Amino acid sequence: MMVEKKSESDDSNTTKRADMPKGAAYVASRLKFFPETPGVYRMLTENGAVLYVGKAKNLRRRLDSYAHPERKPVRIQRMIAQIDHIEIIETATEAEAFLLENDLIKRLKPYYNILLKDDKTFPHILLTTKDEWPQLLKHRGARDRKGEYFGPFASAQAVNETLAVLQKAFLLRSCTDNVFTNRTRPCLLHQIKRCSAPCAGLIDRDDYGRLVAAATAFMKDKSTDVQRDLAAEMEKESEALNFEKAAVLRDRIRALNQIQAQSRDLGGIEEGDVLAVYRDKGQACIVVFFYRGGRGGGSFASFPTQIGEQTDGEILQAFIGQFYTTHAVPKEVLLNVDLPERAVVEQALSVKISVNVRGARKRLIERAEMNARESLFRRRSENAARAELIEALGELVGSEKPLQRIETYDNSHFQGTNAVGAMVVATPDGFDKKAYRRFTIKWDATTPGDDFAMMREVLTRRFKRGLNENNLPDLILIDGGEVQLRVALEVLAELNVEGVIAVGVAKGVDRNAGRETLYFKDRSPLNLDFDNPVLHYIQRLRDEAHRFVITSHRIKRKNATLVSALDNVKGIGAKRRKALLQRFGSVRAIQSVDAAEIAKIDGISETLAKQIIAALSGKDG
């Protein structure tokens, strides 16, 4: 990496004019030191904050444009004025620079780059073909289990719907390995004809293997062959007067037809994504449709930020670069607008990009563009309604400035055990789930089950860190009444936190929603009308905090159950318990794997792994 930083000795060699802005003068003075090769450049402020990350086929030529800010939009002129120094990384090709650029943008999140607001992971369907009795299940996250992965799907709902149909068509087990190993009688799924019950020995290994092969072939877009074979088998059973077996085969064919109905008129796309961008009034939406195995996997909408004066093609190219940095690249991508550097993107991602298409493919792009337009308008409408509510809430609590960050707090415990606190964050754009925080209650001075002491600990820890990071809310809502509010006010006073409004939200004597009482620092308690929109918004904030803290508490209890169960296993100490939690995360996750998977952890033998499974299932090791 090459760093170009200004120094006193540069004054004699400077080429700047007296009236040239600071950042532009620096770029002009250092141009001769920049190579004429492909690479990535980072523009930084005096304190090291990254302003912008870009790539170029010729670094010197690209950076020369920043020495002439008068040719740039006002927004970019402001950026140039803040430049203190530039760091560059040379690459072999422009395609390599494209990949590096987008990796840096995702990690550094520069202020002047187009950014993806959400970088979600997408679920897949996993068929564990390497298992003795393969399992069909929903999978999200790293592909660390051996088997066939199908997807991605845009949502959990899309996966669940497809899984339900696949269970009807192929009768493969979906239960965890632990449940499968310890079951001797068929479960309900067998009764409703969604499983062949290999756990109870109702199907032999060869027949089950044929079901697995058929499911794999179907998901790999060989559905015609699978359906033809099933039809032939059904006819054979009918001729042999085995009408019950023929009826089962008929139902399986119907299930496959249900999936196939989603695959019509795809223009021959077997593995591809369809992307469309729509921009209006300084906002943009990009919709992505997934198509795998000749079938649709649903769609999702993304709303990139900091788009500035970029063209639709530039916005879409920035999205593609960042999105496919962390997601699997399909064979083909269809777009509604062309990219400014399509050839570079194709080379970098090894993907075919199609723009000017006809027939069914054009209809797919038009559908994506229509969804992008509707999603943007719907989001704008929702944001406008939310902005009105937040403005009304600000007036209610007496805020002198618009509320930008609202935090809601709640605690949960079970008879003083597994105590946990939680914070949820709301902004004018909605709930900011990446900013949510869990607090494990750990202070010795906090009495188990003391809700007031728990709240004091949570708020103290949060605001100490907030002061250090200069990250404070405008309003905090405390789930509770006058005493909880007093605790919050004492914490804010002790830490000298200024400008943060605290409000307590308590339910009525019957704990009925709609009869909440709001408690303030220097005002009388207030009860809003049952149909007041601001009250409904406060209820939504409080309910989200309650949902999040209850979920956190349940996870903590499950992990505590794991520790308790493993205490009785000889050879499992604190170090191995920690390794198990870090590897699998929860009791349910450990129960879903076999002994061989657990034995992959350093220090755990297969014999010990079997004892762990036995302990978690309530059996003797």
Q: Could you tell me the CATH number of the domain that includes residue 575?
A: 1.10.150.20
Q: Kindly state whether residues 82 and 173 are assigned to the same domain.
A: no
* pLDDT 10s digits, 202-249: 999 998 998 888 888 877 766 666 767 777 778 777 777 777 777 777
Q: Is residue 146 situated within a structural domain?
A: yes
CA separation for the pair 476, 484 (Å, rounded): 12
Q: Residue 411: how many CB atoms within 10 A of its CB?
A: 25
Percent of the chain at pLDDT exceeding 90: 42
Between 95 and 308, the higher pLDDT residue: 95
CA 430 from centre of chain:
15
User: Which of these three, 329, 362, 378, is where a domain ends?
Assistant: 378
The pLDDT of residue 413 is above 80: no
Which residue has 């000017």 as its token pair? 356
Q: Is residue 562 situated within a structural domain?
A: no
Give the DSSP H or E segment for 579: helix 574-584
DSSP bridge partners of 53: 42
pLDDT of residue 301: 93
Q: In what order do the strands lie in the sheet with 332-335?
A: 295-302, 283-292, 271-280, 332-335, 352-354
Q: Is residue 583 situated within a structural domain?
A: yes
Q: Kindly state whether residues 546 and 457 are assigned to the same domain.
A: yes
Q: Kindly state whether residues 179 and 240 are assigned to the same domain.
A: yes
Lowest mean pLDDT among 92-106, 303-317, 586-600: 586-600
The pLDDT of residue 513 is above 70: no
pLDDT of residue 13: 43
Which residue has 């729509």 as its token pair? 278
Q: Kindly state whether residues 309 and 172 are assigned to the same domain.
A: no
Q: Which two tokens stand for residue 220?
A: 């790999």
Q: Is residue 384 situated within a structural domain?
A: no
Q: Is residue 400 situated within a structural domain?
A: no
Q: Residue 412: how many CB atoms within 10 A of its CB?
A: 22
Q: Is residue 245 situated within a structural domain?
A: yes
Report which of 92, 34, 84 is spatially closest to residue 63, judged by C-alpha positions.
34
Q: Kindly state whether residues 178 and 73 are assigned to the same domain.
A: no
Lowest mean pLDDT among 57-61, 145-149, 520-524: 145-149
Q: Kindly state whether residues 368 and 442 are assigned to the same domain.
A: no
* pLDDT 10s digits, 113-162: 999 876 678 899 999 988 889 999 999 887 878 888 888 888 888 888 88
Q: Kindly state whether residues 422 and 548 are assigned to the same domain.
A: yes
pLDDT of residue 295: 77
Lowest mean pLDDT among 84-98, 144-158, 257-271, 280-294: 257-271
Q: Could you tell me the CATH number of the domain that includes residue 290?
A: 3.30.420.10
DSSP bridge partners of 518: 505, 526
pLDDT of residue 555: 64
Q: Kindly state whether residues 147 and 184 are assigned to the same domain.
A: yes
Residues 6+ apart with CB under 8 A from 488: 409, 455, 459, 476, 478, 502, 504
Q: Kindly state whether residues 529 and 578 are assigned to the same domain.
A: no
What is the average per-residue pLDDT within 91-106? 94
Q: Kindly state whether residues 460 and 364 are assigned to the same domain.
A: no
What is the average per-residue pLDDT within 189-194? 86
Q: Kindly state whether residues 422 and 487 are assigned to the same domain.
A: yes
User: Which of these three, 197, 229, 263, is where a domain ends?
Assistant: 263
Boundaries of domain holding 212: 124-263
Q: Is residue 147 situated within a structural domain?
A: yes
What is the tally of structural domains in the chain? 5
Q: Could you tell me the CATH number of the domain that includes residue 83?
A: 3.40.1440.10
Q: Which two tokens stand for residue 34?
A: 């920049």
User: Residue 318 in contact with residue 406, Cβ under 8 Å?
Assistant: no
User: Which of these three, 263, 285, 300, is where a domain ends?
Assistant: 263
Q: Kindly state whether residues 245 and 305 are assigned to the same domain.
A: no
Q: Is residue 561 situated within a structural domain?
A: no
